[in-house]
């Protein structure tokens, strides 16, 4: 057999001349095409060359084993062209059909390499088992000196093939070999990344997260490439991490994200590499290949990306936020969103990011951030779909963190300017927050309608319970005791079985307060006891003890009250509730320090002193009870010879309080000071002292006004002292002057409620223009401070009640009704109902007047209102109401009742007698029997007796001129009736009576 | 190629280290408009290099650095190995490896981004990762920063001032420095450091709630890549929850009639529970939660 030597640099075998020319030419051309990577052309030439062999047997016969190299090259071209099936056949043929003699070695120099490439082709066909088999065979059979191969890529491919077969352990062994020896083999970074990618995919598919994590821990350094290079693979790692996350392999995903370097660091690294290359277009060393143009392009791309709205950093933080939140760690997601907003505000998803920042800030209770970023959100994305949610989050967070002033601003804007539609969750929230914020800031009058509206409109709201409690408590703060009582009872009943009992002790406390205000002491004690027993951790526990003490004190159970106050101190000190402790100390000082001026000092008076001292030493700083304690301790301090110290303290407190026009208790302090001062000084000295009170400045107007009122008070007392007419006159004059000065010198806004009421009453009672007092009362009633409210209502109602206008009268009734319903002072309620009856009469509403008068006068058990200070007046009004309705018999009967029961009360009895006489005379009923007088005779006789009884000097001398006039009217009518020929004079009556007795 | 063989005497600017003859750093260098070639630099000053053209040569050439268009230092294997250890988060071994590289590469310490300086820089970083602040301060003292040119590395040098304040437990100072740095857009790993130091300061200044937020930033800034910081942050944040009296009340009342789901303590307990579970799943690094912190996981949502 003629063997052909192929014209290869490493083959020098002789071949026949003709065939040699053709085949050799083809082989040359094929090699040139291969070198030029013209694979299609090379394949055609190699295929043509292979055709020379017909079949292997013949080829070996014709050309020897060397012919196998042509088949190998053909296979290489097919491999390059991804014709894996053909390539496998070529490599199989090269390996099997042209076997070298092992001993001699041989002609087919690619026989072993064909195994390697056979494996590669099988790998291309995804026949991984075959690929692994062939590669392993190659490793066994290869000539270690001659058969060189790219070891890094080989082990990476081996790893990938194993991964594809789900053999993670074996695959990772090969990948580790490639990584560990990457500088020696070498293994290119790209190959390592491809291998690692296959590992991640296989681990996800299996799934076997731990295998992946173990590999990362062991080979992190080897997988990590320099930042400038790593950024090329960043997107691959992002994809792998996302796939891991999708496969619920969060820990693996986190590890994969950690491979991605910061864009800034990658840019930094690229700049250094570009600088170091200098003007060279490319540079290589070992596995290092640097192409300047490529690096510059990468740098530009990264710089653009970093300035863009879609950088890797943004994406990573978004994913981290998702991972943390998916695992309930909202603090983590909040942190990620916070960074996105602070450092990447250009992010494409900023609207989402910012919304989530507001949301997570709210969830973790970070009100500052909720507010801050909520405002940024609303300003930046005013039309966002998240807008209602953001508003909601801001309000919720602020409200539940107690930022009520801001809530009022925000929710007020929403409600007042109708920024959300009614009957929506947003409106529900805003209404609740606004009402609740007014409630918590003590603006009870503003809170009331909002809370009422919320409860009516949103009974199913998530805030329903809170709103119900606020509504009830708010009404109690407004001192509408009876209404508050009903609401609180309803609340306690409705939510008695609710798992959330946080409001229950608060409602019990408010209810106990209502009871206390309405003098229902036993129920008040029952409620405080419930708080103490059932809610020992309640925030109002110490306050409940104080209230219990108050009630027990009213019930004269002073020892028990003292125990309760001491308990309040004990708990308050543990909880650092200084307000409650100072209140309890005040209660103890006041209770133990109670003393009537005219009496001897009691045995416990001195016991008040330690509590007062404790107060001043530990709790006085900033305490609202300073004036109260300063006043309450006076007698106790005097009893231990510390009176001057106490008076000095009081003076100091007054001066301190004077600096704040809103100080509560200043009036009482000054009054108390006045009382003690007057023990050793004259009214004139007091006036002088108070006009220049130590420590009070010119602009402490409220305090100066109170001091003037105190002076007026002293002069008023003297003006009432009839025993010294000269002093009385002088004092009256002084009082008038002082009041006029006060009115002229002080603006309404400068004056406290006490002063306003005092001035209003003065104008109402003592001047000819009582309506001038209305602004004073209105000012008091417009303030959140509820002190002196009922006195102001009384003053205003009285003025309206004096009017002849129906509208005014109606206003008067409204004010009096308020007093009657809610005042805790019985005399105030008594007076209010009396005046209601009186105004109803004036309005001509006689039936209603009679109804209310009957209510007032009812003494039947269970129905009695317990009132009676104005029974004579009310009786007269009832009689008049019958009279006006021509119910003559009823009127006559009632007039009799009135003047019979209150004969000495001339202002009442005289008009009653007078009208009764008129009605009887007019009715003119004849006598119906021997002992029954006719109407006219009766009118004469009884009025005669009335005049006899009330006309005695001891009575008559005490009558006021007005009363005398009324009495004389009766006398005149009596005289007139006596002149009636049909009426027997008393003389005649008595004579007839004597005659009858004689007979 | 026109190499000028100069006598040492003619180049007084080139001060050679004592063992310079044993040192060589592979580099690819080129003169303007000429082909690059591999050289072995045996010493360098700010202005000159001394190099050999073959590894085995005993001749060397001294030349002005400005004469070259390219001086590309090839990463030496020991530096690559140290980086691998560093990236593998084996900081103790990496620190020792960098110390050795630093020592060996002294002769080229004057060159930009040379491996002496880079190794020294990474050595300090290792000390930081290991929370060995004394070691950090010691290496920093002798560190010459001029050869560094990467902005992120230069900024890191500035951040060591903050770490030094941590070493001194000067919390007010830490807070001021960190708060200033907080305003900058930093790479994630540096933001994590700033947040962690700020959190430490806040924590030590008894501003626990703010500290929890900063610890959370430290845990998220670089996806937790600064593993030790992330782990420490988790532990310290949980410690804050554990010290919180409100949380302790919520634990006592858990599942009892006194449990108040609206209380601050209850809310924080749930936060702590979620964080402890997160730590357990993702941050342990072989350092499990202490028994008392592990107890938080009981309160996590199922």
* A953 vs B: CB within 8 A: no
* A328 vs B: CB within 8 A: yes
- Phi/psi class of residue A478: alpha, beta or left (left: φ > 0; alpha: ψ in -120 to 50)? alpha
pTM summary value: 0.62
Q: How confident is the model at residue A811 (pLDDT cuts 50, 70, 90)?
A: very high
Give residue A337's pLDDT. Answer: 97
Q: What is the arrangement of strands in the sheet containing B61-64, beginning at the earlier edge strand?
A: B61-64, B48-52, B37-44, B25-30, B70-73
CB < 8 Å to A186, chain B:
none
Q: Which residue of A has its CA nearest to B148?
A: A272
Mean pLDDT, residues A848-862: 88
Contact B69 A278 (CB under 8 A): yes
Q: Which SS3 state, helix, strand or coil, does residue A182 take?
A: coil
Torsions phi, psi for A837 (to 5 deg): -60, -40
* A332 vs B: CB within 8 A: yes
Q: In sequence order, which residues have a C-beta less than 8 Å from that of residue A825 and are 6 or more positions away?
A: A790
For chain A positions 482-501, those within 8 Å of chain B (CB to CB) are 500
* A321 vs B: CB within 8 A: yes
Token readout for A354 is 């910012």
CA A242 to chain centre: 38
B225 min Cα distance to partner chain A (Å): 5
* Cβ atoms of residues A889 and A925 within 8 Å: no
* pLDDT reading at A349 higher than 90: yes
A88 min Cα distance to partner chain B (Å): 39
Q: What distance in Å separates the CA atoms of residue A520 and residue A533, rounded to the nearest whole number?
A: 20
A278 min Cα distance to partner chain B (Å): 5
Average pLDDT, chain A: 88
* Cβ atoms of residues A203 and A209 within 8 Å: yes
Torsions phi, psi for A892 (to 5 deg): -60, -45
Considering only CB atoms, A224 lies closest to which of B87, B260, B277, namely B87
* A533 vs B: CB within 8 A: no
Contact B70 A285 (CB under 8 A): no
Instruction: List pLDDT tens digits, range A317-342.
Output: 999 999 999 999 999 999 999 999 99
* pLDDT reading at A344 higher than 60: yes
Distance, first Cα to last Cα, chain B:
75
* B125 vs A: CB within 8 A: no
* A537 vs B: CB within 8 A: yes
* B219 vs A: CB within 8 A: yes
CB < 8 Å to A319, chain B:
223
Token readout for A868 is 């009676």
* Cβ atoms of residues B124 and B140 within 8 Å: yes
For chain B positions 75-94, those within 8 Å of chain A (CB to CB) are 75, 77, 80, 83-90
* pLDDT reading at A144 higher than 90: no
* B277 vs A: CB within 8 A: yes
A258 min Cα distance to partner chain B (Å): 5
Contact A317 B220 (CB under 8 A): yes
Asked which of A18-32, A344-358, A839-853 is least confident by mean pLDDT, the reply is A18-32
Instruction: List pLDDT tens digits, range A392-436.
Output: 888 888 888 888 998 998 899 889 988 888 888 788 889 999 999
Secondary structure element (H or E) that encloses residue A335, with its range: helix A330-343
- How would you classify the pairing of strands B37-44 and A288-291? unpaired
Contact B36 A280 (CB under 8 A): yes
Considering only CB atoms, B223 lies closest to which of A258, A272, A283, namely A258
* pLDDT reading at A2 higher than 60: no
Measured between alpha carbons, how far is residue A673 from residues A157, A364, A634, A676, A678 in Å?
A: 101, 53, 9, 5, 8
* pLDDT reading at A933 higher than 60: yes
* pLDDT reading at A985 higher than 60: yes
For chain A positions 204-223, those within 8 Å of chain B (CB to CB) are 218-222
Q: What distance in Å separates the CA atoms of residue A54 and residue A70, rounded to the nearest whole number?
A: 13
pLDDT above 70: percentage of residues in chain A: 96
Optimal mutation site among B220, B282, B286, interface A, most CBs of chain A within 10 A: B220
Give residue A613's pLDDT. Answer: 96
Computed on alpha carbons and rounded to an integer, the radius of gyration of chain B in Å comes to 26
CB < 8 Å to B299, chain A:
none
Asked which of A185-194, A667-676, B290-299 is least confident by mean pLDDT, the reply is A667-676
* Cβ atoms of residues B243 and B223 within 8 Å: no
Q: What distance in Å separates the CA atoms of residue A575 and residue B223, rounded to the nearest whole number?
A: 43
Considering only CB atoms, A500 lies closest to which of B26, B86, B262, namely B262
Q: Which residue of A has its CA nearest to B70?
A: A278
Q: How confident is the model at residue A598 (pLDDT cuts 50, 70, 90)?
A: confident
* pLDDT reading at A1 higher than 70: no
Optimal mutation site among A192, A217, A221, A320, interface B, most CBs of chain B within 10 A: A221
Instruction: List pLDDT tens digits, range A210-228.
Output: 999 999 989 988 888 889 9
Instruction: List pLDDT tens digits, range A504-560.
Output: 999 999 999 999 988 889 999 999 999 999 998 889 999 999 999 999 999 999 999
Give residue A817's pLDDT. Answer: 94
Q: How many DSSP H helices and E strands does chain B contain?
A: 12, 5
Contact A221 B275 (CB under 8 A): no
Contact B187 A264 (CB under 8 A): yes
pLDDT < 70: residue spans in chain B: 1-21, 262, 302
DSSP 3-state percent helix, strand, coil across chain A (nearest 5): 75, 0, 25
Which ipTM was obtained for this model? Answer: 0.91
Instruction: List pLDDT tens digits, range A277-306.
Output: 999 999 988 778 899 999 999 999 999 998
* Of A351, A324, A346, the residue nearest A335 (C-alpha): A324
Q: What distance in Å separates the CA atoms of residue B22 and residue B17, rounded to the nearest whole number?
A: 10
């Amino acid at each position: 057999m003629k063997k052909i030597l192929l014209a290869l640099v490493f083959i020098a075998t002789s071949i026949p001349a003709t065939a040699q020319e053709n085949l050799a030419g083809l082989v040359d051309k094929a090699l040139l095409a291969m070198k030029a990577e013209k694979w299609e052309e090379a394949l055609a030439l190699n295929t043509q060359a292979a055709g020379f062999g017909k079949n292997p047997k013949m080829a070996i016969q014709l050309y020897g084993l060397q012919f196998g190299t042509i088949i190998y090259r053909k296979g290489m071209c097919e491999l390059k062209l991804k014709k894996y099936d053909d390539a496998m056949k070529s490599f199989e043929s090269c390996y099997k059909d042209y076997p070298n003699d092992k001993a001699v070695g041989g002609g087919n120099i690619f026989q072993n390499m064909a195994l390697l490439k056979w494996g590669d082709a099988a790998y291309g066909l995804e026949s991984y088992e075959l690929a692994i088999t062939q590669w392993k065979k190659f490793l066994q059979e290869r000539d270690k000196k001659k058969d060189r191969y790219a070891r890094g890529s080989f082990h990476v491919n081996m790893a990938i093939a194993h991964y594809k077969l789900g053999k993670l352990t074996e695959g990772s062994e090969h990948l580790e070999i490639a990584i560990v020896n990457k500088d020696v083999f070498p293994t290119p970074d790209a190959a390592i990344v491809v291998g690692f990618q296959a590992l991640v995919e296989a681990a996800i598919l299996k799934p076997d997260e731990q295998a992946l994590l173990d590999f990362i821990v062991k080979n992190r350094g080897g997988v990590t490439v320099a930042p400038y290079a790593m950024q090329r693979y960043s997107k691959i790692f992002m994809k792998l991490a996302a796939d891991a996350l999708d496969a619920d392999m969060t820990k693996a995903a986190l590890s994969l994200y950690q491979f991605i370097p910061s864009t800034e660091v990658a840019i930094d690294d690229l700049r250094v590499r570009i600088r170091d290359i200098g003007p060279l277009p490319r540079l290589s060393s070992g596995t290092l290949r640097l192409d300047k143009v490529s690096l510059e392009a990468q740098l530009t791309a990264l710089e653009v990306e970093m300035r863009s709205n879609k950088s890797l950093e943004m994406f990573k933080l978004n994913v981290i936020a998702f991972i943390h939140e998916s695992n309930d760690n909202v603090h983590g997601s909040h942190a990620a969103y916070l960074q996105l907003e602070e450092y990447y505000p250009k992010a494409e998803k900023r609207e989402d990011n910012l919304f989530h920042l507001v949301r997570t800030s709210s969830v973790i209770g970070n009100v500052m951030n909720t507010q801050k970023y909520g405002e940024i959100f609303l300003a930046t994305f005013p039309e966002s779909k998240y807008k209602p949610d953001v508003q909601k989050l801001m309000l919720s967070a602020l409200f539940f963190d107690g930022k009520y002033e801001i809530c009022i601003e925000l929710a007020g804007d929403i409600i007042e300017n109708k920024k959300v539609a009614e009957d929506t969750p947003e409106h529900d929230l805003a209404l609740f927050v606004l009402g609740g914020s007014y409630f918590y800031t003590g603006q009870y009058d503003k809170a009331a309608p909002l809370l009422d509206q919320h409860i009516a409109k949103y009974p199913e709201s998530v805030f329903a319970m809170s709103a119900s409690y606020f509504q009830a408590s708010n009404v109690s703060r407004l001192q509408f005791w009876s209404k508050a009582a009903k609401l609180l009872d309803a609340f306690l009943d409705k939510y008695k079985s609710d798992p959330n009992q946080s409001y229950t002790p608060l409602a019990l406390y408010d209810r106990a307060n209502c009871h206390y205000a309405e003098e229902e002491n036993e129920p008040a004690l029952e409620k405080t006891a419930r708080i103490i027993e059932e809610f020992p951790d309640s925030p109002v526990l110490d306050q409940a003890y104080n209230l219990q003490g108050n009630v027990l004190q009213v019930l004269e159970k002073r020892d028990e009250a003292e125990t309760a106050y001491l308990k309040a101190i004990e708990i308050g000190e543990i909880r650092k509730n200084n307000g409650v402790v100072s209140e309890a100390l005040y209660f103890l000082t006041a209770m133990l320090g109670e003393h009537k001026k005219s009496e001897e000092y009691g045995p416990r008076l001195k016991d008040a002193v330690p509590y007062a001292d404790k107060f001043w030493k530990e709790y006085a700083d900033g305490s609202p009870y300073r004036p109260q304690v300063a006043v309450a301790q006076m007698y106790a301090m005097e009893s231990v010879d510390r009176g001057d110290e106490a008076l000095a303290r009081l003076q100091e407190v007054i001066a301190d309080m004077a600096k704040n026009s809103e100080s509560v208790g200043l009036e009482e302090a000054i009054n108390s000071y006045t009382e003690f001062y007057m023990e050793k000084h004259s009214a004139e000295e007091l006036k002088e002292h108070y006009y220049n009170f130590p420590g009070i400045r010119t602009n402490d107007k409220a305090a100066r006004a109170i001091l003037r009122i105190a002076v007026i008070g002293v002069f008023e007392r003297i003006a009432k002292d009839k025993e010294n007419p000269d002093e009385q006159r002088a004092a009256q004059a002084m009082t008038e002057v002082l009041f006029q000065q006060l009115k002229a010198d002080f603006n309404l806004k400068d004056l406290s409620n006490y002063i306003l009421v005092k001035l209003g009453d003065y104008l109402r009672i003592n001047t000819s223009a009582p309506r001038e007092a209305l602004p004073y009362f209105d000012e008091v009633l417009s303030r959140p401070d509820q002190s002196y409210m009922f006195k102001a209502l009384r003053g205003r109602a009285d003025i309206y009640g004096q009017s002849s206008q129906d509208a005014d009268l109606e206003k008067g009734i409204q004010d009096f009704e308020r007093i009657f319903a809610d005042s805790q002072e019985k005399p105030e309620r008594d007076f209010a109902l009396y005046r209601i009856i009186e105004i109803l009469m004036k309005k001509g509403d006689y039936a209603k007047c009679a109804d209310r008068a009957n209510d007032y006068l009812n003494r039947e058990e269970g129905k009695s209102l317990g009132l009676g200070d104005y029974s004579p007046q009310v009786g007269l009004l009832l009689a008049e109401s019958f009279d006006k309705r021509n119910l003559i018999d009823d009127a006559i009967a009632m007039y009799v009742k009135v003047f019979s029961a209150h004969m000495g009360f001339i202002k009442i009895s005289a008009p009653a007698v007078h009208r009764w006489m008129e009605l009887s005379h007019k009715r003119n009923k004849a006598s119906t029997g021997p002992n029954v007088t006719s109407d006219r005779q009766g009118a004469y006789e009884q009025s005669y007796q009335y005049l006899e009884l009330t006309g005695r000097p001891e009575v008559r001398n005490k009558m006021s001129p007005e009363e005398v006039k009324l009495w004389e009217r009766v006398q005149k009518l009596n005289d007139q009736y006596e002149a009636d020929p049909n009426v027997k004079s008393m003389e005649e009556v008595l004579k007839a009576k004597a005659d009858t007795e004689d007979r | 190629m026109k190499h000028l063989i100069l006598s040492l005497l003619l180049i007084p600017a080139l001060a050679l280290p004592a063992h310079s003859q044993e040192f060589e750093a592979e580099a690819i260098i080129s003169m303007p408009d000429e082909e690059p070639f591999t050289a072995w630099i045996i010493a360098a000053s700010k202005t000159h290099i001394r190099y050999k053209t073959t590894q085995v040569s005993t001749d060397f050439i001294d030349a002005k650095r400005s004469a070259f268009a390219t001086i590309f230092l090839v990463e030496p294997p020991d530096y690559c190995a140290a980086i691998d250890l560093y990236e593998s988060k084996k900081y103790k071994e990496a620190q020792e490896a960098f110390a050795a590289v630093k020592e060996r590469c002294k002769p080229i310490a004057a060159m930009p981004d040379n491996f002496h300086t880079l190794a020294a820089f990474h050595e300090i970083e290792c000390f930081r990762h290991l929370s060995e602040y004394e070691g950090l301060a010691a290496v920093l003292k002798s560190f010459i920063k001029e050869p560094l040119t990467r902005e992120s590395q230069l900024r890191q040098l500035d951040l060591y001032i903050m770490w030094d304040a941590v070493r001194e437990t000067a919390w007010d100072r830490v807070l001021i420095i960190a708060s200033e740095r907080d305003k900058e857009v930093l790479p994630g790993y540096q933001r994590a450091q700033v947040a962690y130091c700020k959190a430490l300061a806040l924590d030590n200044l008894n501003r626990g709630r703010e500290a929890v937020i900063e610890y959370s930033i430290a845990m998220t800034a670089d996806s937790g890549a600064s593993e030790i910081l992330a782990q420490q942050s988790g532990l310290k944040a949980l410690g804050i929850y554990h010290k919180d009296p409100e949380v302790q009340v919520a634990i006592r009342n858990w599942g009892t009639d006194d449990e108040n789901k609206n209380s601050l303590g209850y809310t924080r307990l749930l936060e702590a529970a979620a964080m402890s579970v997160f730590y357990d799943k993702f941050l342990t690094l072989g350092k499990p939660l202490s028994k008392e912190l592990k107890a938080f996981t009981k309160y996590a949502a199922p």
